[in-house]
Structure 1
């Protein structure tokens, strides 16, 4: 019985080994269409998987992310496999055409077998198209330290550069101070130092952060974390400092701190520094020699102005002067001397007077010689720089360009100015009344920005969406804007908590910027009948007084960051054209119907907004509605958007 059982098993196995291959071979011969169908379906599945993954890769690359190696490998493999089956597709096409009339059995058999094998290969490849993540964000490459033609060598800068590099190589030096007057080129020089340090591989990493007169510790931490690819999970300043400290500890690092005005608490920021962290070196720039007297700077470097010959060479290049223009060059040399070797003044004045007539050069020379600005008593050695920059401003061709320049000084010092935000202020301020669309105004602002960058009145940033102002240029812009002609009042980015002008009168003010502060109180009401622009940074718990805006009937632009606002308090502000509310708790939104001239309405990151009131549909002039970051917004009334006949742009979703 056992022998029979064993024999039966053997026979069964033999039949299995013989019959199944025979059936498979039979199918290759007579089930050609089935193999074609399976192959086509698998090709379609693989192609869909390929394009889905490729779309995800494209999105990640647009977001400047690095693609995972296994994802790239799979895409390359899939692409090759898809392209490699073209021969099979051509073959099956030929057989399909002649199958009914003259089947070639051997050819059909071979092709069926090849299709089955290829189908299985494609199936396995598709099954492997599952990745935990497609990409990752790499640490940002600091483009500040990429090769640039911004560094113009001079005797003073070469000596300072050599002195700093030597100090960076000295194990006994861990803090270096670079001192020089505003506009002399300190920032440009330390960027060159960072580039050289990277080339020489002196450090594992080189970081740079700008401090300015009113340093924001959280902002400094963010600048450094961005360069390190570090994401903070901690909310407190102390927790973030601890995370930074942990990330940088034990590394050879050069940390460049630009535009320092007061002593720095490295522990508060999270910078590992001192005898226990000799690998970390600090290079800071300042205008004030007394800075760091209590911070134990071992190396003190001074950056002086250009010599007369160096100044003339730089000026001649930027003014487009030729050697043969002897009469013009005589006047131009007088103008260059008035710039007193200051690179910023030489470049801006040179560009301002480029292609001007000899008569205009003579007028400019006389203006600079007699210029002893009445507004610059506190500027000391910057008095002459002010005169030069003021001259550059005066030579801007169009009033719109000048006003766009002055609007830039409303932002805090060393701020990355969003051009989109600048556009929204400009539209509300009535800067481009001849332009019919928001996009048209945006293009005009970008054009003005390019013109101002071309004459070095503004600086470019790492992205085209932002622009910066040199702090000395900003000082000059504020002085011009504060004149009786314009009536600006700017106290932005000071971290103020109390209302700064309790005893000041507002009758002459047309523009007030208190952005970048966290005001904890506001006066009950202000008499400022000429005020057109008001920009406020408020504490998140501050309730804006109901009568605060009663005396501002001419206001056209209102921007609030933080605080709690009842829109009923704006019922008399019927001239408003741009209303920008960020991280603001908003109530009584139905009162928006009173603001019939409103062109731009912004609710950014306003968590209190759960639905839009139907009354917004009554805003017949509204061109732009921005609801970015309103994460609790659940309802927009039916046909509300359709009723806004002039609406051009609707932004909704997250900030990306």
Structure 2
């Protein structure tokens, strides 16, 4: 059963994820484990009626749960995401430079480097967070976004999730909503001109600073399509992408100053600590398996978080099954599908 396909299809589009979806996904994973335990049950002998009865009853209950989850999935309503306004509030609560450092101490240097490049006295016009899937680029981007808002480094913060397929019209609409302007034009070119004029007024007339964030960039985005060609004075661009060359292509036409900040996997010790903080396990035998699981996850934060959450409060056999599947790369493939942004 393709338990994540529907979720991923909507998560990678510009739709708002209903609040019940994460719980639904966790329940699906639990049902998968139950189903696998039924399939792997070894009931030998035609006279072992008691065991056959129990196995049959468990299979029946599992089937009913699966049907209920499918029904719930079909009844889930996906709707257009409501974009938050981009104007930075003066009432934002003051916090530290990113809660992510509580878990990812190895990222502190990377975080401070990126935050420094976002300072207005830096020459860098475009900052790109680059790294493999699941390494935590988007998490760090969100922490940087919060830090610049708390410090009031920019008057406007505009964030757009790009995804695998670029939709210029959708990107333009998102930017317009952040800038609090109606975008009634039907032509992509006309809409781009309207955005360019708006960015120009913000920069030249109001002397306000803008940070535009393009998250999950898979291929070249034409800056002229979103009114950022040329990039207005006082404006900066923050990108997250797996491919450094894609970021280079984006800035090449306008000859913008690009600074790449590489986000790597977690260090071994903090990866283990992160896993055990989530799974909340103290059993020495499970801890031993947990260390092996973390290693099989490649020290990727997202993979560790997903699997640790799933194993929390689970019994020993579930941990063994997870480790076995990781050794066969079964779970890795499923995690990679979810990573393609969650």
Instruction: Please confirm whether the aligned pair reaches a TM-score higher than 0.5, indicating the same fold.
Output: yes
Indicate the structure whose relative CO is greater, using CA pairs within 8 Å and at least 6 residues apart: 2
**Aligned runs of 1:472-551 on 2, under 5 Å?**
472=341
User: 8 Å contact 2:244–2:260 — kept in the other structure?
Assistant: no
2:261 alignment partner, SS class: strand
Q: Deviations along 1:485-534, whole A, 9 cap, x unmatched? A: xxxxxxxxxxxxxxxxxxxxxxxxxxxxxxxxxxxxxxxxxxxxxxxxxx
**Which residue does 1:366 correspond to in 2?**
324
Among 172, 191, 210, the residue aligned to 1:253: 210
**Aligned runs of 1:613-628 on 2, under 5 Å?**
none
1:152 alignment partner, SS class: helix
2:245 alignment partner, SS class: coil
**Structure 1 position 140, deviation (Å):** 2.1
**Aligned runs of 1:294-305 on 2, under 5 Å?**
294=249, 295=251, 296-305=256-265
**Structure 1 position 314, deviation (Å):** 1.4
Among 142, 151, 174, the residue aligned to 1:200: 151
Long gaps (5+) in structure 1: 1-138, 374-383, 391-456, 458-469, 474-656
| Aligned equivalents of 2:296, 2:257: Cα separation in 1 | 34
**Structure 1 position 335, deviation (Å):** 1.2
Long gaps (5+) in structure 2: 1-83
Seen in structure 2, the aligned counterparts of structure 1 residues 178 and 227 have a Cα distance that, compared at 3 Å, is same
Among 140, 143, 151, the residue aligned to 2:85: 140
2:236 alignment partner, SS class: strand
**Aligned runs of 1:78-477 on 2, under 5 Å?**
140=85, 151-153=99-101, 154-169=104-119, 170-249=121-200, 250=203, 251-274=208-231, 277-294=232-249, 295=251, 296-322=256-282, 325-371=283-329, 385-386=332-333, 388=335, 471-472=340-341
User: 8 Å contact 2:86–2:156 — kept in the other structure?
Assistant: no
**Structure 1 position 253, deviation (Å):** 0.6
User: 8 Å contact 1:348–1:389 — kept in the other structure?
Assistant: no
Larger helix proportion of the pair: 2
User: 8 Å contact 1:242–1:270 — kept in the other structure?
Assistant: yes
User: 8 Å contact 1:331–1:365 — kept in the other structure?
Assistant: yes
Seen in structure 2, the aligned counterparts of structure 1 residues 367 and 146 have a Cα distance that, compared at 3 Å, is farther
User: 8 Å contact 1:368–1:387 — kept in the other structure?
Assistant: no
Moved runs in structure 1, 4+ residues, more than 6 A? Answer: 145-150
User: 8 Å contact 2:293–2:326 — kept in the other structure?
Assistant: yes
2:163 alignment partner, SS class: coil
| Aligned equivalents of 1:187, 1:233: Cα separation in 2 | 31
TM-score, structure 1 as length reference: 0.35
User: 8 Å contact 1:248–1:272 — kept in the other structure?
Assistant: no
User: 8 Å contact 1:179–1:289 — kept in the other structure?
Assistant: yes
Aligned residues: 242
Seen in structure 2, the aligned counterparts of structure 1 residues 388 and 258 have a Cα distance that, compared at 3 Å, is closer
**Structure 1 position 222, deviation (Å):** 1.1
**Structure 1 position 303, deviation (Å):** 0.6
Seen in structure 2, the aligned counterparts of structure 1 residues 142 and 334 have a Cα distance that, compared at 3 Å, is farther
| Aligned equivalents of 1:284, 1:141: Cα separation in 2 | 17
**Structure 1 position 293, deviation (Å):** 2.5
Seen in structure 2, the aligned counterparts of structure 1 residues 332 and 147 have a Cα distance that, compared at 3 Å, is farther
Seen in structure 2, the aligned counterparts of structure 1 residues 386 and 166 have a Cα distance that, compared at 3 Å, is same
Seen in structure 2, the aligned counterparts of structure 1 residues 368 and 171 have a Cα distance that, compared at 3 Å, is closer
Task: Please give the root-mean-square deviation of Cα atoms over the aligned residues, in Å.
Answer: 2.8
| Aligned equivalents of 1:173, 1:341: Cα separation in 2 | 30
* Higher Rg of the two aligned structures: 1
Q: Deviations along 1:589-634, whole A, 9 cap, x unmatched? A: xxxxxxxxxxxxxxxxxxxxxxxxxxxxxxxxxxxxxxxxxxxxxx
| Aligned equivalents of 2:126, 2:220: Cα separation in 1 | 13
